[in-house]
Amino acid sequence: MTKREVVYRFVSRIPKGKVTTYGQLAKTAGVKSPRVVGSLLHKSPDPEKIPCHRVVNGEGFVAANFAFGGATGQTKRLEKEGVTFTKGRVNLSKHFWHQ
């Protein structure tokens, strides 16, 4: 299985209302850099099955260049799933998910 497939597989498991971070995902998937994870997610072939909007940075901020609607699009998708924000950040203590 390629690193890309591993990343997409893990992201596909993140439940609605939860998020993980690029760094955590990199560690879990055995990818050397959170930036590589971000690049892979930006190129997602199927955003409906691979919910890359559920991945945020280590401080809980959404991606400024989210591939599917920018930061506003990512925020709207997360809020629709019940994810809450405080001062523009995802409440990681409530919504963080890791395998």
- Mean pLDDT of all residues in the chain? 92
Confidence of residue 15 (pLDDT cuts 50, 70, 90): very high
What beta strand segments (E) does 24-95 contain?
Answer: 55-56, 85-86, 89-90
70 neighbors 64 (Cβ within 8 angstroms): yes
Helix (H) or strand (E) holding 10: helix 3-13
Q: Span 29-56, mean pLDDT? A: 91
Q: Span 30-50, mean pLDDT? A: 90
21 neighbors 58 (Cβ within 8 angstroms): yes
Q: Which residue has better confidence, 24 or 44?
A: 24
N-to-C CA span, the chain? 18
Q: Which two tokens stand for residue 81?
A: 């799933």
CATH for 3-95? 1.10.10.10
pLDDT of residue 13: 96
How many helices and strands (H and E) does the chain possess? 5, 4
Say if pTM beats, i.e. exceeds, 0.85.
yes
42 neighbors 8 (Cβ within 8 angstroms): no
Q: What is the pLDDT of residues 44-84, one digit of tens each?
A: 888 889 999 999 999 999 988 776 777 888 999 999 999 99
pLDDT of residue 69: 76
Q: For the chain, give every domain's residue range.
A: 3-95
